[in-house]
A = this chain, B = another copy of it.
Amino acid sequence: MQKKLLDGFEKTFQMRGLRITQQRLEIFKALAGSSDHPTAEKIYAQLRSTMPTISLDTVYRNLHTLQNHGLINRVTTGQSQARFEANLTPHHHLICKICQKITDISWQEFDKLAPPQDFNQWGDIKEKQVTLSGICRDCLKDKKSS
């Protein structure tokens, strides 16, 4: 490992007992520095410019590792391709049915709402999340012009 001081991500990994590898750091940074909820493939494509030998398997493997350690989330969508985010603060999503763009939103009025008591008999509810879907501005524009 380099002599330089540990940055925030390295500390995060260290605290979890995760080995600090270049690939792992870059994958995590790529996610943390983006707001478009990228796919594994997209992160792979992005990192290849600076790490030409990284493999897609490594991207997938580490996305799962990070997810298992609660450092990133897989977004709940209606597509087959997985989408990820590093934004761990509770929030919600707007998803465009056409271009699949995902936008983070906050909705405090919803956050205050407690799920009905009887849901608890189902089991142990850990998260509550809203997904709003529709057609985004850009896609509405494209529709009109055709």
Contact A96 B123 (CB under 8 A): yes
For chain A, the bracket of interface size reads 35 or more
Q: Is A18 an interface residue (CB 8 A)?
A: no
Binding site for B on A (CB under 8 A): 74-78, 80-82, 94, 96-97, 103, 105, 107, 109-110, 113, 115-116, 119, 121-140
Contact A128 B132 (CB under 8 A): yes
Contact A107 B116 (CB under 8 A): yes
Taken together as a complex, chains A and B put the C-alpha atoms of A121 and B94 apart, in Å, by 12
Sort A-B residue pairs by CB-CB distance and give the 9 closest, nearest first. A123-B136, A125-B134, A126-B134, A123-B137, A76-B78, A124-B135, A124-B134, A74-B78, A127-B133
What are 12 A-B contacts defined by CB distance under 8 Å?
A: A77-B78, A96-B123, A103-B122, A122-B136, A123-B135, A123-B138, A124-B134, A124-B135, A125-B133, A127-B133, A128-B130, A130-B131
Contact A119 B94 (CB under 8 A): yes
Assuming the contacts A123-B137, A136-B122, asked whether A131 and B76 have C-beta atoms less than 8 A apart, the reply is yes
